[in-house]
Amino acid sequence: MIIYLLCLVLFCCGLYCILRKRNIIKIILGVIIAEYAVNLFFILVAYRMEGRSPILSSEVEIVNLVDPLPQALVLTAIVIGLATTALLVALAMRIYEKYGTFDITKIKELRG
Amino acid sequence: MSKEHDKGMSLIVKVITRLTVGLILLYGIYIVLHGHVSPGGGFAGGVIIALSFVHLMLAYGKDVALKKLPKTAMSFFEGMGAILFLSIALLGFTGGYFFLNFISKGEPFRLFSAGIIPLCNIAISLKVGAGLFAIFVVLVLLKFEWEKKE
Amino acid sequence: MIELYVLLIFMIIGAIIAIELKDLLSSVIAVGAVGLGLSIVLLILKAPDVAITQLVVEILCLIILIRATLKKDLPFSTTGRWLLNTLITAGFIVVFLLVAIRAFKDLPEFGYPIMRVANTYLKEGLVKTGASNLVASVILDFRAYDTLGEATVLFTAVIGVLAIVRRIGRKKKDEVVEEDDE
């Protein structure tokens, strides 16, 4: 139970950074930290006490394996997270080019 | 002689890059091909292949790296990876349903086993590697144009 | 299990440092340290596939962040109502944590998962697919539709980045547009 709580505290750190910071790059760092916390939570649910990694081998007879299903889900989620981060960084660079600043309180005109 | 030393990083970095970049590419291909007997698979191997080209571009400047892998080749590899994956899936219709594992299974723990899984790994690694390298090249070119204007 | 707790506390301290620093380059490096700690935690939790992927993806993410965005940072001044905003945000996060603690009582205990679907995959994975890496057999044989969807999402993201960065737009008065063809 305490491990799940520590994982949730990491997610709340990322959430605080998204809500309260004024620099766009800091907001992107908050999104990255929140993503790490969610992926960690999935793998924590899948752990089995005294388990072994889900890769069979020809010499040893294995009885106790860890759950492989959340690991398969997280594997694709990590690469998709990288693609989303790259998209955010491209948007931030375009905003800097147009307005000359990274501060979100100065980007208030909704004109084209 | 002085034109080579203008772009990219210092001489020590260039020498070390020349030694290690081929090994990184080979390691990425190893992880892709053994995806069904040891940890790794298509995604991790594709990212490592993209990282080897990124390493070349960081150390030597963008002209040398783009000569090794031009933009038309990048878009070709990415499209080819996606089309290969989809066609392997559609070929499963010959056996019965979509995505059927129709090639013979072979004996376990060998390299040529597990049906369509190694072919799918190769297709995915081409797509992921070419796509991520394309993203990096485009972002660096945008920054290069900024610095030319200022 | 003591090393798991130590590494998690290291990650939380790294995240707090990354949030509070004023220099952008140092915060990006602190986020890199958090990702490295996460990769070691994934190895302790017996998931080697995921650990390899997390390590190399985090390296590429750091390279994109550092290479593409480091400009001079602007000094920020804190406007009024700063204390009220921070208190409201902290209050919201405390309420969120309290509700989540009540929800955690329904999860199975750490280390004893309910593996109803996964037991079938573990027993019949080697026989039905012939692959000895069970995670690869799950993503490419039992659940191959998800991998097809993921390939589509990556393709869309690459097209999106190329569309944002292209230079087609309104020309200013005497500016020559050089087409940067991709």
Return the SS3 of A110.
coil
User: The pTM is what?
Assistant: 0.88
- Does residue B1 lie within any of the structural domains? no
- In which domain, by residue range, is A75 found? 2-49+63-106
- Please name the residues in contact with A16: beta carbons below 8 A apart, sequence gap of 6 or more: A30, C19, C89, C90, C93
**The one-letter amino acid at C86:** T
CA-CA distance, A65 to A89, in Å (whole number)? 40
- Please name the residues in contact with A57: beta carbons below 8 A apart, sequence gap of 6 or more: B109, C132
First-to-last C-alpha distance (Å) of chain A:
50
Q: Are C80 and B71 in contact (CB under 8 A)?
A: no
Q: Are B126 and B44 in contact (CB under 8 A)?
A: no
Tokens in use for A5?
Answer: 């709580």
The total number of structural domains that make up chain A: 1
Q: Is the pLDDT of residue C28 over 60?
A: yes
Across the interface, whether the CB atoms of C132 and A55 are under 8 A apart is answered yes
Counting residues of chain C whose pLDDT is more than 90, the rounded percentage is 41
pLDDT in the model for residue A87:
93
- Does residue A93 lie within any of the structural domains? yes
Tokens in use for C178?
Answer: 């050089």
- Does residue B65 lie within any of the structural domains? yes
Interface of C with A in 133-172 (CB under 8 A): 133-135, 138-139, 143, 146-147, 150, 153-154, 157-158, 160-161, 164-165
- Does residue A58 lie within any of the structural domains? no
Q: Tell me, yes or no, if B71 comes closer than 8 A to chain C by beta carbon.
A: yes
Q: The domain that contains A44 carries what CATH number?
A: 1.10.287.3510
- Does residue A89 lie within any of the structural domains? yes
C97-126 confidence digits (pLDDT tens): 999 889 888 888 888 888 888 888 888 877
CA-CA distance, B64 to C35, in Å (whole number)? 31
Tokens in use for A44?
Answer: 């924590």
In this prediction, residue C182 has a pLDDT band, given cuts at 50, 70 and 90, of very low
Lowest mean pLDDT among B67-76, B120-129, C3-12, C22-31: B67-76
Q: Is the pLDDT of residue C76 over 70?
A: no
- Does residue B138 lie within any of the structural domains? yes
Across the interface, whether the CB atoms of A36 and C35 are under 8 A apart is answered yes
- In which domain, by residue range, is B110 found? 11-149
Give me the mean pLDDT over the C157-175 stretch: 73
- Does residue B24 lie within any of the structural domains? yes
- Does residue A36 lie within any of the structural domains? yes
- Please name the residues in contact with C5: beta carbons below 8 A apart, sequence gap of 6 or more: A2, A3, A6
In this prediction, residue C9 has a pLDDT band, given cuts at 50, 70 and 90, of very high
What value does the mean pLDDT of chain A take?
Answer: 87
B14-45 confidence digits (pLDDT tens): 999 999 999 999 999 999 998 888 898 899 99
- Does residue A112 lie within any of the structural domains? no
What are the angstrom distances between the C-alpha of C174 and each of B35, B142, B148, C166, C171? 56, 21, 18, 20, 8
Selection from C147, C18, C159 nearest residue B42 by Cα:
C147
In this prediction, residue C127 has a pLDDT band, given cuts at 50, 70 and 90, of confident
The total number of structural domains that make up chain B: 1
Q: Which residues of chain B have pLDDT under 50?
A: 1-5
CA-CA distance, C143 to C120, in Å (whole number)? 13
In chain C, where the domains are located: 1-70
State yes or no: ipTM above 0.85: yes
pLDDT in the model for residue B58:
87
The DSSP call for residue A104 is G
- Does residue B4 lie within any of the structural domains? no
